[in-house]
Structure 1
Amino acid sequence: MKAIVSNKYGTPDSLQLLEVERAVPKEGEVLVKIQAASLNYGNLVLLSGTPFLARFAFGLFKPKYTIPGGDIAGIVEAVGMGVTQFKKGDEVFGDLSQSGWGGFAEYVSVPVKALVHKPANISFAEAAAVPMAGTTALQALRHKGVIQPGQKVLINGASGGVGTFAVQIAKAFGAEVTGVCSTGNVEILQAIGADHVIDYNKEDFTQSSDKYDLILAVNGYQPILSYMRALKDHGRYIMVGGQGKQMSEAMLLGPCLSVTSSKKLGNMLQRANQEDLHLLKELLEEEKLQPIIDKQFKLSEVPEAFRYFAEGHAKGKVVITMSED
């Protein structure tokens, strides 16, 4: 089978399209013929080996997982011993980030816990856009943020992969949602149901008198004290992803501020979870969730897709399709 292979940490230029041996599903696994996959921040970490602490999970000197790609959607080709949840021909989607990665390939063998059935009302490309970004948004809002109907929720970085899902999921839970984005992305947030849209080129939400019950920071740096001022008493601030100073503030300063205030500030790391995937599947079937796809690339164009994604300006998700057509 064809696969994108990364044998050393580096830039997108180090990725190679190679012929590799197709896996055979073990007990409790299914072999999936991949139709589409998508890019996430974790793919950049797996490619570059930075931040360095990530290497303790991904391989200290070279990548432990040589075929990147976490989000997939495809068709079950074969099932291993003991598998009853899926059968040959089932359409599925899932998150491989806790199951050895391997999504940028024509086939992958994966534990059943990483997959759920694909909704019939969306395409493979749309399904592949969902798992990691959708689960991140869901876990940040529901598990960490304890979102409640009627709350005022602000999403900073609302037009990216996680952000577009967060806006829609918060609306599905009955919140009043404000999305923060650049001028060129205002219409996207309006289209997916944001109640209010703030163009950060024209307005600084941290200087406004408006206060929020829950703030989700996906992209765009603001000092944690500025976020704190924008929270109501007993409000919550959650950072997902992030780099450098923003991450340090959320991890180190956030817990300290939380002790001395009624406001809770911190960060969250997404974990693959089949139960959360099932809930996302329901929201997709009920048309309360619509994946936003910015660009699609072929498998042979994965290095180009990485370069585009690394620029940080994608509107929604960047998707890889296995077909060369």
Structure 2
Amino acid sequence: MRVAAYERYGPPEVVGIAERPAPEPGAGEVRVRVHAASIGAADSAGRSGTPWFARLAFGLRAPKRPVLGSDFAGIVDAIGPGVTRFAIGDRVFGATGAEQGAHAELLIVAESGAIVGLPAAVGMTDAAAICDGALTALPFLRDGAHLRPGARVLVNGASGSVGAAAVQLAKRLGAEVTAVCGPAHLELVRSLGADRVIDHTREDFTAARDAYDVIFDAVGKSTFRRCRRSLAAGGTYLTTVPSFAIMLQQITSKAGSRRAVIMFTGLRKDADKVPDLEELAALATSGAFRPPIEREVPLDDIAAGHRIVDSGHKAGSVVVRPVGADSRKAAS
């Protein structure tokens, strides 16, 4: 099989195509022929080895796992002994978490892992993008912010994969949503249902006082210190980007006061991710959720996908297609 592999940290060009023996599923495992996999911020950090704390997860001196990619969608083409949840030919999607490995034509996943059936109405590309953005945004809003109907929510970085998902999910949870993005993506974000859209090149959202119950910094471009006065009493600042400051602020935030929250959603237990995947698949099937796609690239052009992610200006998800050329339409 063909994989996108790397042996050292560096720019997108360190990732290249390599041949590997086709893996065989063991007891309780399924093998997925991967039709789509996202290239996200975690993959960029894992490839570059920056910021420095990324190496705590990916390897201190060199990458521990040569094949990146967590979010995937594809078709089961082999099953191991004892597998009962899936059969050969099933359309599936999910996330491998810290194990990575989805930037490959074939992927081994535990039947008990974060993998569920993919409805026929949802395309492979969309499914991978759902994992890329919404599987992060949903627990942040639901479990981190304890979002309730009527809450005033601001999403910073609203055109990215996580931010775009947060806008849609916050609206579905009954929030009043203000979305912050660059001028090129204002119309996209409006189309996702935001009540108000702020062009960050023209307006500083942190200038508002006591304006929001939740500020979700989906791109880690601001800080709790800068945003604190924009939060109402008892408000919550969420960020996807870890730092010593935010982890200390999370510990020292007092109940009932403005608080800071950092979550490591990719490290959640697989059993917790499964119902979220099923819920998100149902929303996508009904048309209540749609993940924006910035670009689809074939496996041979995966370095180009990494460059788009590194630019920090993508709208939605970047998806690599290890097998086939699945578009936004469903594949069988």
* TM range, smaller chain: over 0.9
Q: Name 2:122's counterpart in structure 1.
A: 122
Q: Give the alignment of 1:91-106 within 5 angstroms.
A: 91-98=91-98, 100-106=99-105
Question: In structure 1, how many angstroms separate the alpha carbons of the residues matched to 2:32 and 2:220?
Answer: 36
Question: 1:191 Cα deviation (Å)?
Answer: 0.6
Q: Name 1:249's counterpart in structure 2.
A: 245
Question: 1:144 Cα deviation (Å)?
Answer: 0.7
Q: Is this contact kept in 2: 1:224–1:254, CA < 8 A?
A: no
Question: 1:268 Cα deviation (Å)?
Answer: 1.6
Q: Which amino acid aligns with 2:94?
A: G
Q: Which amino acid aligns with 1:266?
A: V
Q: Give the alignment of 1:229-308 within 5 angstroms.
A: 229-241=229-241, 247-256=243-252, 258-259=253-254, 262-271=257-266, 272=268, 273-308=273-308
Question: In structure 2, how many angstroms separate the alpha carbons of the residues matched to 1:66 and 1:238?
Answer: 31
Q: Name 2:329's counterpart in structure 1.
A: none
Question: In structure 2, how many angstroms separate the alpha carbons of the residues matched to 1:293 and 1:60?
Answer: 32
Q: Is this contact kept in 1: 2:220–2:241, CA < 8 A?
A: no
Q: Give the alignment of 1:220-231 within 5 angstroms.
A: 221-231=221-231
Q: Give the alignment of 1:147-158 within 5 angstroms.
A: 147-158=147-158
Question: In structure 2, how many angstroms separate the alpha carbons of the residues matched to 1:85 and 1:324?
Answer: 25
Q: In structure 2, the residue corresponding to 1:130 is in which secondary structure? A: helix
Post-superposition Cα deviations, 1:120-148, rounded to whole Å, max 9, x if no partner, equal: 22211111111142111011100111011
Distance 1:52 1:108, change over 3 A: same
Post-superposition Cα deviations, 1:25-58, rounded to whole Å, max 9, x if no partner, equal: 1112110011111111110122122333333332
Question: In structure 1, how many angstroms separate the alpha carbons of the residues matched to 2:191 and 2:223?
Answer: 29
Q: Is this contact kept in 1: 2:220–2:240, CA < 8 A?
A: no
Q: Name 2:181's counterpart in structure 1.
A: 181
Q: Is this contact kept in 2: 1:239–1:267, CA < 8 A?
A: yes
Q: Is this contact kept in 1: 2:210–2:233, CA < 8 A?
A: no
Q: Is this contact kept in 1: 2:220–2:239, CA < 8 A?
A: no
Post-superposition Cα deviations, 1:130-180, rounded to whole Å, max 9, x if no partner, equal: 114211101110011101111111101111010000001111111111111
Question: In structure 2, how many angstroms separate the alpha carbons of the residues matched to 1:62 and 1:255?
Answer: 32
Distance 1:57 1:207, change over 3 A: closer
Q: Is this contact kept in 2: 1:33–1:107, CA < 8 A?
A: yes
Distance 1:82 1:252, change over 3 A: same
Stretch deviating more after TM superposition (119-128 or 186-195): 119-128
Give unmatched runs, 5+ long, in structure 2.
326-332
* Stretches (4+) displaced over 4 A: none
> Percent of aligned positions with the same letter in both sequences?
37
Q: Is this contact kept in 2: 1:71–1:103, CA < 8 A?
A: yes
Q: Is this contact kept in 2: 1:119–1:284, CA < 8 A?
A: no
Q: In structure 2, the residue corresponding to 1:108 is in which secondary structure? A: strand
Give unmatched runs, 5+ long, in structure 1.
none
Post-superposition Cα deviations, 1:294-325, rounded to whole Å, max 9, x if no partner, equal: 11111000011111210110001101112466
Question: 1:261 Cα deviation (Å)?
Answer: 6.3
Q: Name 2:44's counterpart in structure 1.
A: 44
Stretch deviating more after TM superposition (266-275 or 19-28): 266-275
Question: In structure 2, how many angstroms separate the alpha carbons of the residues matched to 1:214 and 1:80?
Answer: 45
Q: Which amino acid aligns with 1:182?
A: G
RMSD: 1.7
Q: Name 1:139's counterpart in structure 2.
A: 139
Q: In structure 2, the residue corresponding to 1:307 is in which secondary structure? A: helix
Question: In structure 2, how many angstroms separate the alpha carbons of the residues matched to 1:220 and 1:82?
Answer: 43
Q: Which amino acid aligns with 1:250?
A: I
Q: Give the alignment of 1:142-221 within 5 angstroms.
A: 142-209=142-209, 211-219=211-219, 221=221
Please report the TM-score for the alignment, with normalisation by the length of structure 1.
Answer: 0.93
Q: Is this contact kept in 1: 2:68–2:101, CA < 8 A?
A: yes
Question: 1:190 Cα deviation (Å)?
Answer: 0.9
Q: Which amino acid aligns with 1:64?
A: K
Q: Name 2:16's counterpart in structure 1.
A: 16
